[in-house]
Each structure stands twice: as structure tokens, then as C-alpha cells.
Amino acid sequence: MKKILIISLMAIAVIFSSCEKTEEMLVSPDEIEFTNFSDEVIPGQYIVIFESSGLKSAYKDKITADNVVLSRAEEIFNLQQIEMNEPELVYSAAFEGMAIKMSEAEAEKLAGAKGVAGVWPDIIVALGRWNTDPVDPPAQVVQYGVERTGYANYTGSSKAWIIDTGIDLDHPDLNVDQINGANFDTRVSSPDDDHGHGTHCAGVVGAIDNTIGVVGVAAGATVVPVKVLDKRGRGASSVIIAGIDYVAANAAPGDVANLSLGGGIYELTDLAVIALGAKGIYVALAAGNESEDAENHSPARAEGANLYTVSAMDINDNWASFSNFGDHVDYCAPGVNVFSTYKGGAFATMSGTSMAAPHVCGLLLLTNDNLTTDGYVNGDPDGNPDPIAHN
């Protein structure tokens, strides 16, 4: 069994430029650099998923649940006479499983064992370079995307979990929950954003309404960093799934999660976000930037309770040429030349469905999943225009 997952950040960074509502907000090929990605398999590393034993509802403490998964894994490995290495990661909230090193022959043998749902190769995620021109905090502006979707100061207690490259922990325009944040990048010790993409998404969701920078859709909301990609935008499918599993274990019903990442069809990512939504977490998913049907991309293609896939448009409600489309898309939101928070206390402009998804994430938080729509995007290539998300 070999299933390869290709993951890329759904963002295209562009040089910052101010613009008025009347401008034709188009991104030319000279202004953008699409991210590249790798499907490099990690030699000898696999993701093993066990058949469900009801563990998710039996234990609220993830450490205890993880230990139960490990005990079960040891029993299965022993029955198959396979020496079990120390797992790299353990999953117990979204589903039961682990990432572990073993030989291909052992993986094939384990895949047929009783109690094993499947075994998948793990892969490296490698993002291409992009053009970004960060700027120091300007006087506060309400960017066009937030104006279009509607925004308000968030006064509730729910949180937005940003599964990404981390968040700038001391950004002056963000209310970051460092205590509940998580870091899955073994090269660093905290979920601080050393890349920029996660901080940008967080600002769209909940930048503070103050005197500097920008305003988020759910202004002032608490954003929680879940760092699954490193400073180069690299990680592994097993790590991204670990981030989703962490949120499934720690978020409360009514919280929201944003996943502005994705790639080719990969069943495990789909299953993980479906499990997250089933726990009462509202999940915004980027549709992708390949200009094709989102059916071919995970987790954009995932269908389940509380999952919302988001396409992108420009300042004039016109379809963003890079955006994926199709029946799996639920809403459209601004995703071209979006100005938001950035690493190092700075601000920057980016384009992509990565920027569209957090607009919807903020609306889900602000309205407790009761967002409305306001018109339809112009020029949807599938002929079935996506409704524009609105407060």
C-alpha cells in the first residue's frame, strides 16, 4: 500500500501595495511566485492507523490515551513478530495510530494484521520561496477583505486554532494563547512563527482593533498557534496530522480551526479533519491554488460536519484565477492582496486561498457557525458560483 501526500501552503505572497476599492485587484504572473512542493517519501517512516476501539470517548487525558495506543501497538507488533521502534508521534484523539520507523517489508506485513486499518508512507513537505516585503506597523487600516465579509470585536470565550507555521507569539496586533499552543517542529522549542504564513492567517482571523496594523474578522479573538511546518515551510504529513490530533484533544466545542494547507488526495488528512469537525470544532479549509477541482486535493475535499472549504476572490468579487473550485467548496472569501500580520511584529500582503480560509474561520468564530452570505463570486469556472461568506 503506497499513498503519497503532496502538501503545499495555499498562499502566494506578493509585494505590499495599497489600493482602493475601485482598483482592478488582479495579480499578474510577474508579481507572484507560486509555492513549490515535494512528494519526497521519508525513507523507512510510516503512519500506522489502528481500527477504532472507542478510545477517543473513553479518555479525556491525551497522555493516558496515547499510552493506551502504545500498549495496543506493542501487542499487535508482538503478534506479527515485528520489533517495534520508539514511535515518532502518537495519535489518540482524531484517530488511533502513530508515526514510526520500520522496513517496507514490515510495513506490508503490518498492513494485513488484525486491528490495523492501514499503513501509509510518510512524506516530506517542502515549500518554495516566495516574494514578501514586510513593513513595520502602520496606522490601523481595515483591509478590504474584512470590510467585505463584515467584522466585529469578538467578546466570546472560544478560540481559533491556527494549524500552520506557528504564530508570532508577541505580535502587538494579536492576542496569542501561548499556554495552549503546541510546537511539532523538533528543531525549535516554541510555536513562534519563523516563517510568516501562520501569523498572516491569524491576523485575518482575529487581529486586534487598536491603533496599529489591521483588524481581524473576529477582532481581538484568542488565536492558538499549532506549529506543524518549520521556518523553511517544511514538515511531514505525520506532523500535520499530529497537529490536527492535538487540536482534537484540546479544543472545546465551538472553537474554530484554520487549515490553510493541503495537497494531493491523502485519506489520512481527510479523516483527521473529519474527526476534528465531529468533535464540534468548526474548521475552515483552503480550497487550494492549483486552478482545478478541489476534489483532487486533501483536506479541501473532505466532507463532514462543521467542515467548510473556501475559494478565493478579489476586491471586486471576481474569481481569483489561482483558486480551486468545484462541489466541495462551501464559500468564497477575499484572497487577493490581503494585508495582515506577519512574523517579527511586521505586516505583509499575501494572496491565496490561504488568505480566504481565515476570513471564514473568523466568521465561524464570530457567529458561532451562523454566518450568512452576501451575493456570489463572479466568474466561478465550474459554472456554479460560490456564495460569498458574510457576517
Burial classification of residue 351, based on how many CB atoms lie within 10 Å of its CB (0-12 exposed, 13-18 middle, 19 or more buried): buried
Question: Does pLDDT of 26 surpass 80?
Answer: no
Q: Is 69 within 8 Å of 91 (Cβ atoms)?
A: yes
The domain total for the chain is 2
Of 91, 125, 159, the residue at which a domain comes to its end is 125
The reply to whether 190 and 304 lie within a common domain is yes
The reply to whether 79 and 177 lie within a common domain is no
For residues 161 and 251, what is the distance between their CA atoms, to the nearest angstrom? Answer: 8
Instruction: Determine the average pLDDT of the residues in 265-282.
Output: 94
The reply to whether 224 and 279 lie within a common domain is yes
Burial code of 179-208, b = ≥16 C-beta within 10 A, e = fewer? ebbbbbbeeeeebbbbbbbbbbbbbbbbbb
Instruction: Determine the average pLDDT of the residues in 235-240.
Output: 92
Residue 373: inside a domain = yes
Is beta strand 222-227 parallel, antiparallel or unpaired with respect to 175-176?
parallel
Of 125, 157, 192, the residue at which a domain comes to its end is 125
Residue 1: inside a domain = no
The reply to whether 292 and 371 lie within a common domain is yes
The reply to whether 146 and 295 lie within a common domain is yes
The reply to whether 375 and 259 lie within a common domain is yes
The reply to whether 143 and 108 lie within a common domain is no
Residue length, the chain? 391
Q: What are phi and psi of 135, to 5 degrees?
A: -125, 155
Residue 134: inside a domain = yes
50-56, Cβ contacts within 8 angstroms, sequence gap of 24 or more: 50/76, 50/95, 50/96, 50/97, 50/115, 50/116, 50/117, 51/96, 51/115, 51/116, 51/117, 52/95, 52/96, 52/117, 53/96, 55/92, 55/96, 56/92, 56/93, 56/94, 56/95, 56/96, 56/275
One of 66, 122, 164, 330 is an active-site residue; which one? 164
The reply to whether 149 and 194 lie within a common domain is yes
- Per-residue pLDDT at 70: 96
- Per-residue pLDDT at 29: 32
Cis peptide before 299 (omega within 30 of 0): yes
Residue 284: inside a domain = yes
Tens digits of residue pLDDT in 80-128: 999 999 999 999 999 999 999 999 999 999 999 999 999 999 987 655 4
- pLDDT-derived band at 18, boundaries 50, 70, 90: very low
Burial classification of residue 37, based on how many CB atoms lie within 10 Å of its CB (0-12 exposed, 13-18 middle, 19 or more buried): buried
Tens digits of residue pLDDT in 121-172: 998 765 545 667 899 989 999 999 999 999 999 999 999 999 999 999 999 9
Residue 2: inside a domain = no
pTM (two decimals)? 0.91
- Per-residue pLDDT at 22: 27
The reply to whether 89 and 202 lie within a common domain is no
Question: Does pLDDT of 20 surpass 50?
Answer: no
The reply to whether 147 and 110 lie within a common domain is no
The reply to whether 194 and 161 lie within a common domain is yes
Of 82, 107, 125, the residue at which a domain comes to its end is 125
The reply to whether 133 and 258 lie within a common domain is yes
Which residue would you say has higher pLDDT here, 117 or 263? 117
Q: Is 354 a catalytic residue?
A: yes
Q: Is 168 a catalytic residue?
A: no
CATH number at residue 52: 3.30.70.80
CATH number at residue 362: 3.40.50.200
- Per-residue pLDDT at 10: 53
Side-chain half-sphere CA neighbours of 286 within 13 A:
32
One of 171, 340, 354, 380 is an active-site residue; which one? 354
One of 197, 200, 297, 359 is an active-site residue; which one? 197
Q: Is 323 a catalytic residue?
A: no
For residues 98 and 50, what is the distance between their CA atoms, to the nearest angstrom? Answer: 9
**Domain range spanning residue 243?**
7-39+127-390
